[in-house]
Chain A
Amino acid sequence: MLPLENIKILSFGTGGVVPDAGKIFGELGADVIKIEAKDNLDFMRTIGPDINNIGQFNETNRSKRSFGVNLKTEKGRDIVSQLVKIADILAENFRGGVMKSLGFDYGNVRKLNPQIIYISSQGFGSGGPYSEYQAYGPMLSAASGVLSIWAQPDDPYPVGSNAPYPDHMASKHVVIAAIAALDYRRRTGKAQFIDMAQTEVAASLAGEYYLDYTFNKRIPKPMGNRSLYAAPHGCYPCKGTDEWCAIAVFTDEEWQSLCNAIGNPAWTSDPRFSDLLGRLENIDELDKKVGEWTSTLDTNVVMETLQAAGIAAGVVQRATDTLADPQLKWDGAIIELDHAVSGKRLYPGVPFRMSGTSPLKSTPAPLLGEHTEEICHDLLKMPDDEIKQLLEEDVLYNPENAKGAGGGMFG
């Protein structure tokens, strides 16, 4: 048995958050139906030339079915209303106001299905002046204040990362909230609406910085990799181009272990480095000395030497490091899936094990409209000639009549 067996979830998702949540719902056993349109594609289907062959999309949209439908038509909306009536959860992260314009805001959806749990995950959340602003992850790390401290002190300005943080953390909050709501419904019969703000997810994950402001009236500044209670604490350059190993030394005992592990060169006996306070005060020089030692060595040699001495050290991994990582291999953390268009590709697997469930499995991302017909047939009990007719009228989409869609980003 799987935890979410027999649960049906409608996903009106785009980009990272709700699609990634849908992936997890699917891995936990739910039947996740992604509502997709040919002319208003999930943004992630448009960042490459072929809507069905994009790595990021095919990672995030695993373990769900795709239902292609034109929501601009009344017939299309009627069909989706039928799905709403049999769903347990509706999750959406369109721009604020879009679900209302489609007629699928919580008020309307609840009329169709009073037992549905509706979770809306918007960039800024509803109910304020920015509730209808379009938002992408990198915008939200900026607008939440987190980006302002995601930098080295001497950077001209903070840039964070090209990864869409906090999308993939917000998605897990969506899953936690939705399942908690499902459990509450199981226990009490009460369904509800959950209104998440992704900026607030970013802030919740860095809450102590906001408390520094509300308690101490201090506006936190970037510290880069420096720590208030560890030194050395940073990424140190290793042999090769842009190769780094992170090292974190908290206690004086760990410091002594590090000195021994690197053969006690003369500089390590400098009394300024003998205790944490001294190392923090002389951190620039300390970093330079540690960096001189690391720069002649391979990243793995630095990590293994220090770990053997009981010091936290780790390679700043690229994909190739991750694929060669012996612990991740041991865990089977990276899996291969065979996608209908993209073929055999690698993805992260389910990162936890549950002893009381059947194995949690990922399935490849669907093609746009791949499951439209089977969903009409099995769930909605529509006759085949009606399905055929609706496909011809472009009310429904399957992979054949959706051909030619996309190309937005590079077009």
Chain B
Amino acid sequence: MTKEQEGALSGYCVLDLTDSNGAYCTKLLADLGADVIKIERPEGDPGRGIPPFAGDTPHPEKSLHFLHRNANKRGVTLKLDTVEGSNILKRLVKTADVMVDNSPPDYMAGLGLDYSVLSEINPGLIMASITEFGHTGPYKEYKGSNLVDFAMSGIMITSGYPGKEPCLLPGSPAYDSASVHASVSIVAALYMRGTTGQGQYIDTSVHVTSRTGLYPWIIPNYSYALNPGGPPPTSENRMGAQIYPVYPCKDGFIRIIALTPRQWDALMRVLDNPDVLQTEEWRSFMYRIGNADDLYALMLEFTTKYTMRELFEAGRREGVPIAPILSIADFYNSPQTKAREYFVEVDHPVAGKADYPGPPYKWTETPATVRRPAPCLGEHNEEVYCQELGLSTDDLASLTGGGIV
């Protein structure tokens, strides 16, 4: 193995108590070089059961969701709701910089592991808590899910084909919105600790963050358009097809972003100036939104003369953004993706070798990349508990035998 290059967060240790819903938060830190130790219950994070699986065979080391979101982390097992288990966590806390958990309200406090206890052990500790709806408040006991939290975020009503059921954005958008905000506050707290030497407690929820992470404009749009008795703002309807229309072409579909008259004129040049669209009214964005069905019927004849790539390149040349609607495979194979070496080959001892999406940025001094695969269940128990924490192999064996590890 080549010597690992330092990451921007190298040297920091993060204790990761999250399940699949918070895994993206700590992945962001791990991608930047932090030593993230994923702490799972002995029977494993339920996220290991999320389909689909590598090779389509259900297996705790082969969930694709788990493999992606836990790459770059180490993994240990620990039963926190035992005296021995929580004592081991407290020993880990002594030398940790950050701890992240997404357990339900009062769970950590119930175990005697709330911030007031842990910060006594390590005043520099930064502890971030992600709950579904908050530690307090009327929805505190509400149950969330990716779909349900997305529904409540304000973006879902705008999402999907006009007139149909609102449609979920693929991935874990609501949870990931909480994750990115938790990461923002964690790095801010780390930076601040450089001056003060003090850690702090960070509290956020999926319910609150999904508003600012996915569609922060729904409230200001409403507030700016508020006009007693008037119609609701258009941004609350499923307008994706009207505002950023999609048209078929020779080999797929393209999306056109023509907002200004200048962009519309450029689009006309791309399509070789169709006579039928050369009237002044079509230059108006609002007119095009109001007559999207008519426009679609007229546009078909012209867009279908070209391939996705021809339109993408012609849009660039003439000054109107046009995007091909690529499949997942098309993106993987795109020359831009290849040129940037976005995908990184990773070899997992059980799931095998495959290309993984990398971190979405290139760094000149501290490369962000996929350095190691997601941990197998308990893979680093010995490394962390014996070599680093100083337990004997006998101690570890008895903890393992007792179901603590």
B328 touches A220 (CB 8 A): yes
A215 touches B331 (CB 8 A): no
Q: Known contacts A181-B8, A195-B361: does B185 contact A354 (CB below 8 Å)?
A: yes
> CA of A218 to CA of B336 in the docked complex: distance in angstroms?
21
A176 touches B187 (CB 8 A): yes
A334 proximity list for chain B (CB < 8 A) = 219
Name the residue on B nearest A173 (C-beta): B360
A197 touches B340 (CB 8 A): yes
B250 CB → nearest A CB, Å: 14
> CA of A172 to CA of B166 in the docked complex: distance in angstroms?
25
**Tally of A-B residue pairs with Cβ under 8 A?**
531
A165 touches B137 (CB 8 A): no
> CA of A235 to CA of B238 in the docked complex: distance in angstroms?
14
> CA of A149 to CA of B141 in the docked complex: distance in angstroms?
32
A176 proximity list for chain B (CB < 8 A) = 28, 32, 180, 183-184, 187
Of A244, A250, A319, A320, most B-chain CB atoms within 10 Å: A319
B156 touches A246 (CB 8 A): yes
A349 CB → nearest B CB, Å: 8
Pick the interface stretch among B105-113, B350-358, B394-402: B350-358
Number of A residues with CB within 8 Å of any CB on chain B:
154
B339 touches A356 (CB 8 A): no
Contact with B along A48-72 (1 / 0, CB 8 A): 0000011110111000000000000
Contact with B along A132-168 (1 / 0, CB 8 A): 1111101110111111111110011111111101001
| Selected contact of B181 from candidates A155, A179, A206, A352, CB within 8 Å | A352
Number of B residues with CB within 8 Å of any CB on chain A:
165
Name the residue on B nearest A172 (C-beta): B180
B327 touches A219 (CB 8 A): yes
A155 touches B164 (CB 8 A): yes
Which residues in chain A, 293-335, are within 8 Å of chain B measured between CB atoms?
A: 307, 310-320, 322-323, 325-328, 330-331, 333-334
A330 touches B328 (CB 8 A): no
Q: Known contacts A47-B259, A203-B357, A211-B67: does B222 contact A319 (CB below 8 Å)?
A: yes
User: A229 an interface residue at 8 Å Cβ cutoff?
Assistant: yes
A327 touches B133 (CB 8 A): yes
Known: A145-B329, A330-B138. 14 other contacts (CB 8 A): A138-B240, A143-B323, A159-B240, A161-B240, A162-B235, A179-B184, A184-B366, A187-B11, A211-B67, A214-B356, A246-B150, A318-B154, A318-B218, A355-B203
In the A-B complex, list the 10 residue pairs whose CB atoms are closest, starting with the nearest: A356-B200, A128-B339, A319-B222, A55-B224, A246-B151, A207-B68, A200-B360, A159-B240, A139-B323, A145-B331
